[in-house]
Structure 1
């Protein structure tokens, strides 16, 4: 239908200054009903990024919009791990405004916990690789001398 197609186009239209869409503005202002409607119409709006690399989820976290954060995290839990252009996740943005409700919600979310455990395991593996016995170091030095 033509009206729906027009709505889709408007939904993804970006402002000329920041590259933000109506979805971003709905997220940053806490308009849960609008966010839910736009997401249901086209879930890809969640993955659109503004100039600074923020998604609508980043906006909701940065502006303390708890209900929007919870809604989007429920719909697409992996959004918790998406970083902006500076490497910040929604959790870091919530920490920047000291929003303890969002910090607690995101920090205790199963996706975040699993991610942190995986990072910890990777760090431990790297540390183990870095710990060579004196015999292993000697072999490495001998190989370098031979080569």
Structure 2
């Protein structure tokens, strides 16, 4: 069975501010300053890289449990870039930096590789633009 998701947005009466809804949950989202918003709440680009980072957290947590690892913490920093002059606009690269506390470097690399092999968001974005990944284990 296919995994599906749906979301809806609606205007709020405030220029450049929207409500994003999915299955009864709601999030305030702003347009970026470049598109007429105030960018006080999350903007679309942040939601995109946030989705990638949270997929990484979920998959790594699952694999760490399977491996019997008790991690002290996982930090995933994700950055995207795009050339504002390129039309149509596309993201031209992503950088992911993993810091995994409580794992050896080998285990940290195993966890990130499992994420890379199993996250559909990662595969979709990596097929569209270069993806640079760094992994740092902190004992």
- TM-score under structure 1 length normalisation: 0.26
When you count helix as a share of all residues, which structure comes out higher? Answer: 1
